[in-house]
Amino acid sequence: MHLKRWITGLTALPFLFLLISKGGTQLFALVVSMVSTIALWEYFHLVSKTDENARPAFTEVSKVAKKKNSPSGFQFLSFLTGFAMIWAAYILSLKLMVGLITWNFLLSGFISVKWFKNNSGGSESVFKQVLAIIYIPLLLSYLVLIRNSSGGMIWIFFILCIVFAGDTGAYYVGSYLGRHKLCPFVSPGKTVEGSIAGLALNLGVGALFKWYFLPSLPWGPSILLFLSIGIAAQMGDLFESTLKRVSNVKDSGILFPGHGGMLDRVDALIFAAPVAYLFKTYIFN
């Protein structure tokens, strides 16, 4: 498992570096939109298993919905809205992003009334669909907003280094030295020791990156940024673990050997991106 993780990570690293440094903002937005679409597909796969594991009554609703093609309708709306959300971020239109969330909610409500008018499953399907849009494309769109801002390329590397360092530190320290469970019901493998180690690496790697590449940032807010990104990343990991736990699956997919699916790879980044954007936009500017 460890060997697969390192092979996958080291193989993907050069492509990731070239994408961010040489690809330009348009290609970056395109790749983020593709990541969003794959993560959305995995999300719907997870919540469909949640439906099957949750209540027999809702399973019957799901069967009726499937016959009427409602899951496909919800997913198509999600993919379309998610793609538009990323490109709204690309043109730096926050108003359009808010408008897309609004229209997505209205359209999903209309779909639920049309396809679920004879039972109570529609409202739950709307909730999961709207959650999908907010959870994945909206939060990922902050990466595009950051990339398109002043010094955006450096900041993307900055965020990735902090998040990946914390994730690696938490994983290995937790695996070998972890004794106290952090959140056993949600993720039995995560430990307090791993969490602390992850935050320590968030601080260390963040400080080194800031020292060499972002020397103009003040130290006080920077340390708060490192910790905030680290905490948000761990919360993102736990949030996705909750979905997997309820769905009774280990990974969201099998796209990356040793790492799981796309959602497994970006779960921490999803929560960390808006935190970094808020610091960059409202504290450091």
User: Other C-beta atoms within 10 Å of 99: how many?
Assistant: 13
Q: What is the pLDDT of residue 146?
A: 97
Q: What is the pLDDT of residue 90?
A: 96
- Global confidence as pTM: 0.89
Q: What is the pLDDT of residue 178?
A: 85
Map residue 215 onto helix, strand or coil: coil
Mean pLDDT per 10-residue segment, the chain (285 residues):
62 82 93 95 84 48 44 83 96 93 89 68 79 96 96 96 94 88 87 95 97 96 97 95 84 68 92 97 91
Instruction: Produce one character per residue of 184-213: b if its CB has 16 or more CB atoms within 10 Å, e if not.
Output: eebbeebbebbbbbbbbbbbebbeebbeee
Q: What is the pLDDT of residue 117?
A: 64
CA 73 to CA 167: how far, in whole Å?
A: 35
Q: What is the pLDDT of residue 186?
A: 85
Q: What is the pLDDT of residue 53?
A: 55
Q: What is the pLDDT of residue 259?
A: 62
Condensed to tens digits (0 to 9), the pLDDT of residues 8-56 reads 666 777 888 888 988 899 999 999 999 999 999 999 988 886 655 554 4
> In sequence order, what E strands does the chain have?
181-183, 187-191
Condensed to tens digits (0 to 9), the pLDDT of residues 130-145 reads 999 999 999 999 999 9
Q: What is the pLDDT of residue 127?
A: 86
Q: What is the pLDDT of residue 244?
A: 86
Q: What is the pLDDT of residue 284?
A: 94
Position 111, amino acid? I
CA dihedral over 27, 239, 101, 44, signed as positive or negative: positive
